[in-house]
Amino acid sequence: MRYSFLCMVRFFRSFIPVPFILLMFISCSSKNKKVVRTVEDDRADSLLLVYDPKNEEPRIDAFMKNLHRTRGFNGNVLVAKKGKIIYQNAIGWADYLHKDSLDIHSKFELASVTKPMTATAVLMLVEQGKLKLDQTVKEFYPNFPYEGITIRMLLSHRSGMMNYVYFVDNLWKKAKKDERKGISNQDVMELIAQHKPAPYTQPNRKFHYNNSNYMVLAAIVEKVSGKSFTEFMKENVFEPAGMKNTAVYSKALYEKIPVDVVGHDRTWRYSVVQNFLDGPVGDKGIYSTIHDLYLFDHALKEQKLLSKAWQDSAYTGHNEMSRGHFNYGYGWRTFQGDGHHVVYHTGWWHGFRHIYLRDLTADVTIVLLSNLTNGSLLKLDELFHIVGMPVVRKSAYTGSGETSED
């Protein structure tokens, strides 16, 4: 390595000043610089996660207990304000059939709360110069059947693609295939190339939220990095952020995903069985805890993963405003109103339902992970008032952006 460097310096120095050459090499190496965690980082994260129940916010405790009792909330919750956890709890069952209780470190399938992390990975590659927002999918997958779909459109849900979940589900049912064995992102990309399902609409015509966008983004991350999405996320996002209890799990690799929290659909009558659609990742497939999501929030604020400029781009709405307050950026839903800028994401998949909110103005983080898909997370207005942030619920606002009476 040293020999080749010296040769290049000798070759170029008669044409380009040596200081410029050194600057060029330093610049290139800094683009590819990996974040290395230190003992001090681990200590700082441990202090960040310190929580004394004696100092909990009693109004939040009363609210959560009432939400559990009257609305059936079952899951884990963390609320932090200005760098301090003011409430956390594990409420209810991890697996109702076996009567296993949740604990504060329980890992949940994040469903679409995966998307902000996938977007972060993509923007990291863009910031490093390994991807460009206006590159098309066909540059990475030449047999991709749709023209003109760019990375930017995928990030902001403007690709116009159909939802692969329904497309693949129909194929499997018609062919009566074994639904227990998971399929990979690469499998889905090949199915799309083979069957060429009709798109929902033309590229960049309108916002159309669907899982295909982020499944394709994860496939592109694999192509560009030469690593599996699982490996890339572990090395470049989870480890630098200190997220030691977070991983990407795919049914394409596991007969049974190695976590204990089971998803339950609406009532306790039955749990949701994982199937082949738990194979593709990027749109879902990350498993994590309330504490690790708080560490992700902290790592972003400290610019350990992305620069402020690229975060600002991710938090900027890239679609038409909805109800005067709501939009979608790159991997984040956004709310702007009452002087607050909130970025958040919801998740709903196979018995899991979540909401993850970051009020960038008031420095408030709320994590609610639930493994019972009822409507309890639609009843959080009181919690928002307690922590001093606006209500983030679309039906709370009229179409003109005014507060509704409901």
Neighbour tally for 313: CB within 10 Å: 18
In a domain, 351, yes or no: yes
In a domain, 404, yes or no: no
* Number of domain units in the chain: 2
Q: CB-based burial of residue 374 (10 Å sphere; 0-12 exposed, 13-18 middle, 19+ buried)?
A: middle
Mean pLDDT along residues 147-169: 97
Query: 129 or 268, which is more confident?
Result: 129
What's residue 33's pLDDT? 54
Tell me 304's DSSP state: S
Same domain? For 291 and 377 the reply is yes
Same domain? For 199 and 330 the reply is yes
Rounded Cα distance between 223 and 221, Å, is: 5
What's residue 176's pLDDT? 86
Q: Out of 23-27, 207-211, 336-340, which region has the weakest mean confidence (pLDDT)?
A: 23-27
The percent of residues above 90 in pLDDT, for the chain, comes to 84
Neighbour tally for 92: CB within 10 Å: 19
Q: Where are the beta strands (DSSP E) in 144-285?
A: 247-248
What's residue 34's pLDDT? 65
What's residue 178's pLDDT? 87
Same domain? For 9 and 88 the reply is no
Mean pLDDT along residues 70-92: 97
With 50 as the cut, is the pLDDT of residue 19 above it? no
Mean pLDDT along residues 200-209: 97
In a domain, 406, yes or no: no
- Cα radius of gyration rounded to whole Å, the chain: 22
Same domain? For 201 and 323 the reply is yes
Number of H helices, E strands in the chain: 14, 12
In a domain, 403, yes or no: no
252 close to 168: Cβ distance less than 8 angstroms: no
Which range of residues forms the domain containing residue 3? 1-33
186 close to 221: Cβ distance less than 8 angstroms: no
HSE value, Cβ hemisphere, 13 Å, CA-based, for 365? 23
Reference 367, options 298, 308, 317, 274; nearest CA is: 298
Classify the phi-psi angles of 89: left when phi > 0, otherwise alpha if psi is within -120 to 50, otherwise beta.
beta
Same domain? For 5 and 82 the reply is no
pLDDT in tens, 281-307: 999 999 999 999 999 999 999 999 999
> Whole-prediction pTM value?
0.91
Same domain? For 81 and 195 the reply is yes
Same domain? For 109 and 170 the reply is yes
Rounded Cα distance between 21 and 23, Å, is: 5
What's residue 271's pLDDT? 87
pLDDT in tens, 388-405: 999 999 999 999 999 986
With 50 as the cut, is the pLDDT of residue 3 above it? no
Please list the residues that pair with 353 across neighbouring strands: 348, 370
What's residue 384's pLDDT? 98
With 50 as the cut, is the pLDDT of residue 184 above it? yes
| CATH number of domain containing 60 | 3.40.710.10
**Number of residues written out for the chain:** 406
Same domain? For 92 and 26 the reply is no
